[in-house]
Structure 1
Amino acid sequence: MKKSSLLLAGVAASVLAAPALAADKDLLVFDWAGFEVPGLFETYKEKYGDSPTYAFYGDDDEAYQKVASGFKADVVHPCSQMVSKYRDAGLIEPWDVSKIPAFADIDPKFLDSPIFKDEGGVWYLPTDWGVTAIAYNPEQVPAEDVATLQVFVNPKYKGRTSLPNSSDDVWALAYLATGVTDWTKVTDEQFKAAADWLRKANENVQSYWADPSEMSQIMASGEVLVAWSWNDGVAYLKADNYPVAFQREAKEGSSTWFCGYVNMKDAPGSEEKAYDFMNSWLRPEAAQPLIDEIGYGHSNTKGMALLSEEQKLDAGLGPINAPILAQVPNDPKLREKQLAEFEKIKAGY
């Protein structure tokens, strides 16, 4: 089955350099599509009477390339493994955490890296976290088929699977599927085994989704029965009463990740408003709209404590009994190698 062209349309719609949601001209937030949730910037809007201006992107590498090429934003929302690229390129400056009261409530595990915090200051404000696992239609896909990640290479699902157009996420899947749970220590042999597996998985792919809303749309259409998904794609399907299940306990495991905001150097807007935006995001009360609207967890421990265990489990944020590959910062050279190989695999090489 020919791969869908939905990806091209989705990218074109979501990542134009021009602001996608124009509001307060003094703060431009360059963000993942879907994060313009009013509850996250509620106190910002109460103070200024308007929302920040948003521009959107579909994946981390694309966002980095855009700002590295000169696109100006005040804050950007990369995931943890991208922060070193922003630092090495001299694109960001430290946050003054004395202006961010809730910084003390960020779970320490999200700041446990000299890439994020060192003698030069705090370079990264972790805000949200989630998982990547198997989303599937339980009315058409037996539970035993998704008990293993090999469902993505199962000939039964040729032309009925979807993977994210995200190098980090597809390599997390490929490493897990070939027995690797720590991508900070990948050998050449492990890389090759993962690449070979990913080539097989590519043969089953109907489309590579550009953002979670696209993933939910192609699953809802019936074209795709099995997808490697973030929490939000599943949340959107549940909101539309689509039959969907989220399998995090395949025998090979699933992955976790976290993201946050960097403070862009020579930003065009108001520094005061950038801090007000982050203070709104990091307050404990922001955890509720984050999980309600997107299905993600919050970095603020007090915020997570406000959520019920039932909410966390329903969103796919509870504990599991299976291996986990944590998408923490890894070797930048390996990331570039993975990115180049992924492009070759998608092109059929």
Structure 2
Amino acid sequence: MKISSFLLAGAAASVLAAPAFAADRELMIFDWAGFEIPGLFETYQEKYGNSPSYAFYGDDDEAYQKVASGFRADVVHPCSQMVSKYRDAGLIEPWDVSKIPAFADLDPQFLDSPVFKDETGVWFLPTDWGVTAIAYNPDEVPAEDVSTLQVFLDPKYAGRISLPNSSDDVWALAYLATGVTDWDNVSDEQFQAAADWLRKVHKNVRSYWADPSEQAQLMASGEVLIAWSWNDGVAYLKQDGYPVAFQREPVEGSTTWFCGMVNMKDGPGSEEKVYDFINSWLRPEAALPLIEEIGYGHSNLKGMALIPKEEVIDAGLGPINAPILAQTPNDPQLRERQLAEFEKIKAGF
């Protein structure tokens, strides 16, 4: 993906709730920008002769607001923290796992929550996982500077830093930076300490990136030297030979997360095609294009077993010797509080 492609991808992602490309009108996938990878829907395309139609978004909360406001899709791709909102709003229905041969091969840790799987059914199919850590330009930033998350406060990098426009990711960063590695039991004092830290960092932020292609563009241009990044922003830069390194082991740690597919109630398309799409995504062979294109791990254990260890490590998915904050579902009230506070911080309050 060259820099012109970064620009095009960013433009496509900004047209939320509109098809980035209309293909099969009987299947609408509402997805993160960058996931329209042919290898993920290869068997679907072989069967039907074309790809699904896609609409893209860059932020989980905005995606939820779109569908809650009436945008119709067949499948949406939220991360784990959002699934309870879809369920509580009555927007989704359980998956019929008898129609999904690869369900038995999914990593069980990604289904270990009554939000995802209970006596009423399976409400969430985990598909992909990754990390959020420090991406930086090693030609301009010494490795010792990114040995700590306090680099985001360093006045030396004022105006050369970018953070995701994602409440979950920036709060995970702030909690880690202020000594919290588990957001399941955050006290008022810990919340306030993290908020105060984010307000200080805000003064150094050049921009809050909306999607990984925008982050990659900012770093490729040299405007940004340090970013709090997902795997794909780093993967795009590596593919084009731009200087980039991924620091997952600052002293305070980094984060992990996972995402998956929900089956929208009364979707406008074909239910048969919904299952053909998800079966293409979950087959073991889909793991390779997922990690090669955007650096993410696959939920299918058999699929991950096909990936050479060195490729897993190069993508930033290997084990680390540092604390990890797992972005698993947390208290919905805390999450809403974080979201509201983040909006205030971005506005300068």
Specify if TM > 0.5: yes
How far residue 11 of structure 1 moved from its aligned partner, in angstroms, is: 7.1
Question: 2:53 maps to which residue?
Answer: 53
Question: 1:108 maps to which residue?
Answer: 108
Which deviations, in whole Å up to 9, do the C-alpha atoms of 1:289-309 show, x marking residues without a partner? 000001000000000000011
* Alignment pair present for 1:281 and 2:281: yes
Question: 1:3 maps to which residue?
Answer: none
For 2:211 and 2:37, locate their aligned partners in 1 and report how far apart those are by CA, in whole Å.
Answer: 16
For 1:99 and 1:73, locate their aligned partners in 2 and report how far apart those are by CA, in whole Å.
Answer: 20
Question: 1:141 maps to which residue?
Answer: 141
For 2:12 and 2:19, locate their aligned partners in 1 and report how far apart those are by CA, in whole Å.
Answer: 13
How far residue 13 of structure 1 moved from its aligned partner, in angstroms, is: 4.8
Residues 11 and 57, structure 1, Cα contact 8 Å, conserved in 2: no
For 1:121 and 1:99, locate their aligned partners in 2 and report how far apart those are by CA, in whole Å.
Answer: 13
* Alignment pair present for 1:94 and 2:94: yes
Unaligned runs of 5+ in 2: 1-5
Check 1:167–1:262 CA distance in 2 against 1; reply closer, same or farther (3 A cut): same
Q: Percent identity?
A: 83
Check 1:77–1:13 CA distance in 2 against 1; reply closer, same or farther (3 A cut): closer
Whichever residue aligns with residue 280 of structure 1, its letter is S
For 1:31 and 1:11, locate their aligned partners in 2 and report how far apart those are by CA, in whole Å.
Answer: 15
For 1:294 and 1:63, locate their aligned partners in 2 and report how far apart those are by CA, in whole Å.
Answer: 20
Which deviations, in whole Å up to 9, do the C-alpha atoms of 1:72-118 show, x marking residues without a partner? 00000000000000000000000000000000000000000000000
How far residue 10 of structure 1 moved from its aligned partner, in angstroms, is: 4.4
How far residue 14 of structure 1 moved from its aligned partner, in angstroms, is: 2.8
For 2:280 and 2:343, locate their aligned partners in 1 and report how far apart those are by CA, in whole Å.
Answer: 38
Check 1:224–1:23 CA distance in 2 against 1; reply closer, same or farther (3 A cut): same
Residues 14 and 33, structure 1, Cα contact 8 Å, conserved in 2: no
Which deviations, in whole Å up to 9, do the C-alpha atoms of 1:228-282 show, x marking residues without a partner? 0000000000001001000000000000000000000010000000000000000
Give the SS at the match of 2:163: strand
Question: 1:300 maps to which residue?
Answer: 300
Question: 1:190 maps to which residue?
Answer: 190
Residues 11 and 210, structure 1, Cα contact 8 Å, conserved in 2: no
Whichever residue aligns with residue 269 of structure 2, its letter is G
Which deviations, in whole Å up to 9, do the C-alpha atoms of 1:180-209 show, x marking residues without a partner? 000111000000000000001111000000
Residues 13 and 33, structure 2, Cα contact 8 Å, conserved in 1: no
* Alignment pair present for 1:126 and 2:126: yes
Question: 1:170 maps to which residue?
Answer: 170
Question: 2:35 maps to which residue?
Answer: 35
For 1:303 and 1:162, locate their aligned partners in 2 and report how far apart those are by CA, in whole Å.
Answer: 33
Residues 27 and 273, structure 1, Cα contact 8 Å, conserved in 2: yes
Whichever residue aligns with residue 57 of structure 1, its letter is Y
Residues 164 and 229, structure 1, Cα contact 8 Å, conserved in 2: yes
Question: 1:18 maps to which residue?
Answer: 18
Check 1:312–1:153 CA distance in 2 against 1; reply closer, same or farther (3 A cut): same
Residues 86 and 92, structure 1, Cα contact 8 Å, conserved in 2: yes
- CA RMSD, aligned part only? 1.3
How far residue 28 of structure 1 moved from its aligned partner, in angstroms, is: 0.1
For 1:180 and 1:208, locate their aligned partners in 2 and report how far apart those are by CA, in whole Å.
Answer: 23
For 2:12 and 2:315, locate their aligned partners in 1 and report how far apart those are by CA, in whole Å.
Answer: 29
Give the SS at the match of 1:338: helix
TM superposition score normalised by structure 1: 0.97
Question: 1:156 maps to which residue?
Answer: 156
For 1:233 and 1:17, locate their aligned partners in 2 and report how far apart those are by CA, in whole Å.
Answer: 22
Question: 2:333 maps to which residue?
Answer: 333
How far residue 21 of structure 1 moved from its aligned partner, in angstroms, is: 1.3
TM superposition score normalised by structure 2: 0.97
Whichever residue aligns with residue 277 of structure 2, its letter is F
For 1:17 and 1:322, locate their aligned partners in 2 and report how far apart those are by CA, in whole Å.
Answer: 38
Whichever residue aligns with residue 339 of structure 2, its letter is L
* Alignment pair present for 1:67 and 2:67: yes
Whichever residue aligns with residue 47 of structure 1, its letter is K
Residues 97 and 103, structure 2, Cα contact 8 Å, conserved in 1: yes
Give the SS at the match of 1:139: coil
Residues 116 and 123, structure 1, Cα contact 8 Å, conserved in 2: yes
Residues 11 and 58, structure 1, Cα contact 8 Å, conserved in 2: no
Give the SS at the match of 2:30: strand
